[in-house]
Amino acid sequence: MITADTPFTPEDDGYHQLSDDPYETETNWWSFNIPDRKIGCWIHTPYYPNRKTVTWRIFVWDDQGISPSQLAYYKKVEEAPMPPNPDLRDITFPNGGYSLKMLEPLMKYHLTYSDPDRNFALDFTHTGAHAPHRFPPGNPPFMQTPHLDQLGHVEGVLTLRGEKIPIDSWSVRDRTWGPRGGPYTASKKTYANNAERVRHPGGPIWRQIERERGRGRIQYIFGHADGDTGFLGFVRVQDGDAAGWAPMNAGYIIRDGVYAQLDETKSRMLNFRDPNTGWSQHMQVVAVDAKGRTMQAEGFAVSRMSESGYGTNSLMRWEFDGKIGWGEDQDVWMGPHFLRMLDALRASR
């Protein structure tokens, strides 16, 4: 039986195939930040083993623009055919994608990418601060899919418009794999009306709309000052209370280099949104782990990007334990749901 304590093995650096589901997906995701430039970066690649295709995307954002056309860099290639038996431990993704090479099983990786037409390149290593940890299986959002998160030290060079910018960042990589059962929009879950979707009614109308269940809402936050101090958590906004505090049901605290899973019965987040844009602006976090340690954090968004105009990825400046840390808020929405929330947030009567 797989539990949260079941370790990953070197074989998990490769690809998996758990079913014949055409929507089975395996992701590899890498991130880093450059705080003094307000820069965040994503490299994200879902592979569909039963369709034998891959989608990869790389984007860099700062405070100069939010949409893909305004970002410092954005490139996405969808459903590119993969070669037979791809090896994630040593691969160059098709149609001009990045190269990934495992240097030390489960711990150290080298990534490179070049787009000469844009005078853009990446060359960095991710060295784990700890072994990758498994989140509890069967717990949202990992009902059927194994998932790992790993804090690492990211060192290298970002070439942006020809300028070489050093990377020296503490940030996170993650992996998820398994059947997806089809796109979210094909879900058969139904509700009689919107009010029945809210587990804990009350409070401001915009927060009540945000708490509607069955909307595909995920919020993923993290922040780290170094390899020894920080936190990460998935926020279950759907289970939040009328005051806006939402529980965090998967994640961890690292303090003095000691890692422990979050206590989902005690960890929570309160989010304040910009009344004009609806995007996350300011957060308070109370994280409690299985060892009984509490970490209180306060964060502000300093830059962000949005592929659709609804959900955003924000570079977050955090304060906790007397330290300043950096990380992200990944705020995932479906468009119509976000617009209803935003209308309520903007309402004047």
The token duo for 265 is 């019965």
- Structural domain for 109, as ranges: 24-178
Whether 221 and 317 map to the same domain: the answer is: yes
Whether 231 and 290 map to the same domain: the answer is: yes
Output the domain CATH number for residue 150: 2.40.370.10
The token duo for 69 is 């056309």
Whether 109 and 145 map to the same domain: the answer is: yes
Q: What domain count does the chain have? A: 2
Whether the pLDDT of residue 216 is over 90: the answer is no
Which of 150, 178, 206 is the endpoint of a domain? 178
pLDDT per residue over 170-214, tens digit each?
999 999 998 887 765 555 566 667 778 898 999 999 999 999 998
pLDDT per residue over 113-135, tens digit each?
999 999 999 999 999 999 998 87
What pLDDT, on the 0 to 100 scale, is given for residue 220?
A: 96
Q: Which amino acid is at 139?
A: N
- Phi, psi torsion values for 210, nearest 5 degrees: -60, -30
Q: What is the spatial distance between Cα 52 and Cα 349, in angstroms, rounded to a whole number?
A: 52
Q: How many CB atoms lie within 10 A of CB 125?
A: 17
Could you give the C-alpha distances from 236 to 25, 177, 239, in angstroms and in order? 22, 21, 6
Query: Which pLDDT band holds residue 142 (cuts at 50, 70, 90)?
Result: low
Whether 238 and 307 map to the same domain: the answer is: yes
Which of 127, 152, 178 is the endpoint of a domain? 178
Whether 95 and 68 map to the same domain: the answer is: yes
In this structure, is residue 14 part of a structural domain? no
In this structure, is residue 204 part of a structural domain? yes
Q: What is the spatial distance between Cα 329 and Cα 310, in angstroms, rounded to a whole number?
A: 14
pLDDT per residue over 226-261, tens digit each?
999 999 999 999 999 999 999 998 899 999 999 999
Average pLDDT for residues 54-61, to the nearest whole number? 98
The token duo for 229 is 């101090």
What pLDDT, on the 0 to 100 scale, is given for residue 6?
A: 84
